[in-house]
Chain A
């Protein structure tokens, strides 16, 4: 008789592995990339590809240098490159995603031991590095440059003329923040009021949802992102707790504090669909390595991200707070995990008796 294999139970396994999970995330990000191509043209796709190539090559070189097995085929570096590029303005110079990816892979991931050991999301760390180093590249010229480079102007021209002007000059969140700041401090006239109301109008929300706005490459179309996220949720590769608690917290806090007519008047849908919240909540906060493993912990993590995002958006120095809020919460994950380890089945009973 042939020799038989001996191993510990279970001898049965779900058809899932790291590669499959990672490449599914890449697949889920494709609709957003297609949307980016549709709204911003080839340049955004090229930037994304540059980011991916830089990330993959860097990871391979680091692993080669450290004489470790080369694991770029698992797709995690591809995700990092993609997410980093998704956080860039579509007009960024070609070397921005390259430098960002190299930093993300080396400092954000490999120095800690590679996949599974990084304390914070490498793509977000890369973005923070770019923001600190080349703030102009990262925060200006959202659309104006684009309109020069032949942007499909017919897509943008939906809505009122006034709105169109806004869009070509800044991202919706930047606009909302400055306008609201003016209104709250009493420095603004009636036109500011109208702009703010236009921003939260249903027409404009529709533009936000489909992506007819200025913004980063990957965050532009909430619809495309949700499509991809729905696939991941269906496959059980991301869990509902983080996105739901994150977006829910943003919704509640923006409703309470985000308005111009006192409390409980904020434009909820505007805050959900503008900026990078959908991208962040479904694809970056849910990064397995840098989010809590306990169920309660995931809720706390999502709520924390939501609070920080709103604090930064409404009162902080930046118009958008998604990436920093996730980075900050990433650092708290070991603590969250430690304090939310749940009671095993059968422990409550004993406590009751006591």
Chain B
């Protein structure tokens, strides 16, 4: 009965992602930079969800893997080629190894101690990137590409300008623009590269969710004791989940660097790790679609709300009488512009209090109210994969 569900979910998801530039244009989010961020942080959240959503291990260190991925990729740009493939491969390998090391140490503890350990590790990586590892990370300035870099696989560059990242000649910042019904649509190569990788990442995550491996990861979350006395060694399972999600983060870091070839230590800061946790919880931990949704919402707030300033607000409330206009602007002012994170915080609190299962729980409730069961909702699927 539910057999077709995953296929439908996959198709709908792919369609939504690929038509992103059209769907999001009316919301003012149809420009390449933001679309790329949606996709990249979607990948990050999908990967984080494999760890947190399935096993319940709350890691505060995933930004470190993001950073490792970015640095690896930029180094590939400097040494080998501006093609993004070698960079992505190295990023996945390096972040995987790094996750193996960190996971091996931190997974000795669970619950809050695990969170603190990962946090400490991420902060250590951040500080190292800033100080001791300057020869590799270029410290505060961040790692950038230069004209003088070797790039042994690329033909000699005589143009005098920095080469741009590409995928076998397709440049990441190539954009095809068109106008449709008064909307400015931008189809960007970089976005589509990220989008296809996001779809692939999503597919892998569905397979993991539906596999015996995924089942045992979910069992880790609900009762680790029982699992141990059922003859299952939980450590390699949690470690595998940790490494997989670390590799996802590394891939996301690689894409960040591919879209904009520089890597800085601030990408590894713990607040970044925190925002990954927010994305997943906001969307719905343990659901398939939730994390992507959460990542989208947070990046949207970051991009759109932060651009609303007092002038825009005055425009909005132009029709109101003078004193009311000033009053409304005064009320809304702290929530927009530089205060966008205040709005995000408020939204996050409302969702966690009223919809503990995140946006996906909201979607499910709405669907139940209208009498239809949302078959493609992963929250339901996850509970009855047996059918």
* A in complex with B: no
